[in-house]
Amino acid sequence: MRALIQRVTEASVEVEGQIIGQTGPGLLVLVCAMQGDDESAADKLAARVAKLRIFRDDQERMNRSVLDTGRSALVISQFTLAADTRTGNRPGFSSAAAPEIGQQLYQHFAESLRKQGIPVETGEFGADMKVRLLNDGPVTIWLDTADRA
């Protein structure tokens, strides 16, 4: 699975003019299930996100995680993280998981974060969403479970 994590002051997601999820200071996590991913990959990614030390400590160093700070996360599905841009000008998305698998793993990922004690709100899988955020730092980190042994 892939995730693009942004440390935010605030973030929200809107569907058809209604805010359906939001967070104050915390994380905006854009997540994509890839072909071959399973619940184990979702759990691994959630554990990495929960422990990722990207919040400032007393010395202003990035040394605290979302768990350490007691902050929350807004989790949004985003299949475009699977974009293959190696050739041509139009991205290909064939490496993304099939929609039904992607939805199940997206929901499993969000639930895995919740089980670790992180308050989580989500977007709506497959919907046309409008995401607003105020990136803090800015801090933006890319994680991919395929990059880890």
Q: Is the pLDDT of residue 84 over 70?
A: yes
Give the CATH architecture of domain 2-147. Answer: 3-Layer(bba) Sandwich (3.50)
142 Cβ contact partners less than 8 Å away, ≥ 6 residues apart: 2, 3, 4, 5
Residue pair 26/71 in contact (Cβ under 8 Å)? The answer is yes
pLDDT in tens, 3-58: 999 999 999 999 999 999 999 999 999 999 999 999 999 999 999 999 999 999 99
User: Does residue 149 register a pLDDT over 70?
Assistant: no
Q: C-alpha distances in angstroms, 3 versus 16, 17, 30?
A: 25, 26, 5
Cα distance between residue 143 and residue 148, in whole Å? 9
Cα 23–chain centre separation: 13
Q: What is the share, in percent, of the chain residues with pLDDT greater than 70?
A: 99
Residues forming the active site = 78-80
Global confidence as pTM: 0.94
What residue ranges do the domains of the chain occupy?
A: 2-147
